[in-house]
Amino acid sequence: ADLTWLTELPKAQAQAKAEGKLVLMDFTGSDFCSSCIRLHKEVFPAKEFAAFAKERLVLVELDFPQKKQQPDALKAANEALAKEFKVDGYPTLILLAADGKKLGEVEFDVFDASAKEMVAAIEKVAKQAKP
């Protein structure tokens, strides 16, 4: 199941509002952070996560690569969001309500969280949201 990862938070929020979903922001270092690479290779594509995400989440990838080139506007937008949400390392997953309110940071074992554990961790944060 191919998941769609947006790269612009405003678009993601508009989609989340329209579809009644939550926004999952993934602050990642796609080309150097081994835990980030593992999440995108093993956890996010896994059946349990993909099915949950399709139903409940709008996914946003906020990438901070070291080697990969990015448009300046995207880089600036990502840096502003990292500052706003006080991100100090990768991977950092933050769950937002459709209106942009931060529900919390998703806590998981970066080295060996499974797709099932990731869904449980997101559910735990989502419970704090008003339906």
- 10-residue mean pLDDT series, the chain (131 residues): 88 96 97 95 95 96 95 96 96 94 93 93 86 55
Residue with tokens 């996914």: 59
**3 with 44: CB under 8 angstroms?**
yes
DSSP code of residue 114: -
pLDDT at site 131: 55
DSSP code of residue 81: H
For 29-58, the DSSP string reads -TTT-HHHHHIIIIITTSHHHHHHHHHHEE
**45 with 1: CB under 8 angstroms?**
yes
pLDDT at site 129: 66
Task: Give residue 107's Cα distance to chain centre.
Answer: 12
pLDDT at site 89: 94
Residue with tokens 């970066």: 110
pLDDT at site 130: 58
**This prediction's pTM:** 0.94
pLDDT at site 26: 98
DSSP code of residue 103: E
